[in-house]
């Protein structure tokens, strides 16, 4: 909310001159309608410099604060103020004012969609992986990632309802249970919300997870993790392989390891039995560092959130991955790689928005040719 108020103040300053002229009943020149252009030029230049000169795939939190300010100012407060300016000046500039108001309100609509609506719309993706190492019967895997809960919300309720309807054979969660838990009161709310989601995950072959880069922060984390897992059937894998027998014939060797790309390089152990080799980890770059060609049949990861903002023709602006892959199906070292857009939103100073990139859960069917 503080970022929204600051952006509101900036918008007021930017529009002060033309509004003052209208208030004093003076003629409003065409130049007044271009008052916001320097701010938008600065936002565009800042975005360009940010993409080209930020070191590594991660954007530091102060820079994310600026990104958040740019979003609120550029799509909400500034165009809303500009629409007011056009409304007040419509008699003096009957042609220019309606056009300006229309453009401004379109920006407000896009910003409101990204901030208030799309983050609550849950998508369900479906993939089919064909491999001779699959079980005899098709195997349905539910892939969930990046819950990053800030508390109970609509998208989490929709995800729980979809999971209950789907009846998966196996559930995997690829990290990031919750955002920064803040003070004790907020920590309790966030942990309870994550626990509610975890307890909704059930599957006959088991529910498995790895920890993400948001998991493990702060002195509360060990106790928080216990609260998150309490009463559920979820098992956290920390660099280990689980052998799973599939009814009807078949075997799954599930390897899971959390952490980012710079974590200790724990490699999957080769199962002596024939069957599906499934790898789950949080970070796409971690998967790239772990695996060599032919060491797995399928890899499931999260972390990127799909970029959260995907512009038509340009793709995801930020992926937080050196691979530059945002979401969907890819091939890594000859191995199918499925990247989930996740359910939640990036925390700290990042704007809680999604555009052309709704939250998702994924249904993966693995079958023989």
Q: Where are the domains of the chain?
A: 2-118, 122-367
pLDDT tens-digit readout, 302-361: 999 999 999 888 888 788 888 888 899 999 888 999 999 999 998 877 888 999 999 999
The burial of 78, by beta-carbon neighbours within 10 Å (0-12 exposed, 13-18 middle, 19 or more buried), is given as: buried
Closest among 189, 121, 200 to 149, alpha carbons compared: 189
pLDDT tens-digit readout, 154-167: 999 999 999 999 99
pLDDT for the residue numbered 185: 81
56: pLDDT strictly greater than 60: no
pLDDT for the residue numbered 30: 53
The token pair that represents 262 in the structure block: 């710079």
Report the percentage of the chain scoring pLDDT > 90: 46
Fold of the domain spanning 122-367: Purple Acid Phosphatase; chain A, domain 2 (3.60.21)
* DSSP symbols for 292-319: -TTS-SEEEE-SSGGGSBEETTTEES--
pLDDT bin (cut points 50, 70, 90) of residue 14 is low
pLDDT for the residue numbered 317: 79
Asked if 30 and 96 count as a contact pair (C-beta separation under 8 A), the reply is: yes
Highest mean pLDDT among 149-153, 182-186, 330-334, 364-368: 364-368
* DSSP symbols for 20-50: HHHHTT----GGGGGTTHHHHHHHHHHHHHH
Mean pLDDT is lowest, of 56-70, 96-110, 293-307, for 56-70
pTM: 0.86
Asked if 358 and 121 count as a contact pair (C-beta separation under 8 A), the reply is: yes
């Amino acid at each position: 909310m503080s970022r929204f108020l600051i952006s509101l103040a900036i918008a007021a300053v930017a529009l002060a001159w033309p509004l003052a002229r209208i208030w004093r009943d003076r003629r409003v020149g065409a130049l007044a309608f271009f008052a916001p252009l320097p701010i938008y030029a600065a936002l565009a230049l800042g975005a360009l410099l940010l993409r080209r000169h930020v070191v590594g795939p991660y954007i530091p939190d102060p820079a994310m604060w600026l990104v958040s300010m740019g979003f609120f100012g550029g799509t909400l407060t500034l165009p809303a103020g500009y629409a007011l300016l056009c409304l007040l000046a419509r008699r003096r500039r009957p042609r220019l004012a309606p056009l300006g108001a229309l453009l401004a309100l379109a920006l407000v609509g896009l910003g409101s969609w990204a901030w208030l609506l799309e983050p609550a719309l849950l998508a369900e993706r479906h993939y089919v992986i064909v491999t001779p190492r699959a079980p005899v019967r098709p195997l349905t895997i539910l892939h969930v990632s990046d819950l990053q809960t800030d508390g109970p919300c609509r998208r989490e309720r929709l995800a729980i309802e979809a999971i209950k309807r789907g009846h998966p054979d196996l559930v995997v969660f690829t990290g990031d249970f919750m955002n920064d838990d803040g003070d004790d009161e907020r920590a309790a709310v966030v942990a309870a919300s994550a626990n509610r989601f975890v307890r909704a995950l059930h599957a006959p072959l088991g529910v498995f997870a790895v920890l993400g880069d948001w998991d493990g922060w702060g002195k509360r984390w060990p106790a928080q993790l216990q609260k998150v897992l309490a009463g559920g059937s979820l098992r956290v894998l920390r660099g280990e392989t689980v052998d799973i027998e599939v009814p009807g014939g078949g075997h799954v060797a599930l390897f899971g390891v959390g952490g980012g790309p710079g974590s200790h390089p724990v490699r999957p152990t080769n199962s002596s039995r024939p069957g599906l080799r499934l790898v789950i980890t949080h970070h796409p770059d971690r998967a790239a560092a772990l695996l060599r060609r032919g060491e797995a049949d399928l890899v499931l990861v999260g972390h990127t959130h799909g970029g959260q903002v995907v512009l038509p023709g340009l793709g995801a602006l930020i992926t937080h991955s050196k691979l530059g892959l945002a979401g969907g199906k890819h091939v890594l070292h000859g191995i199918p790689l499925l990247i989930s857009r996740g359910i939640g939103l990036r925390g700290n100073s990042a704007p809680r928005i999604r555009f052309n990139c709704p939250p998702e859960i994924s249904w993966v069917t693995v079958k023989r040719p």
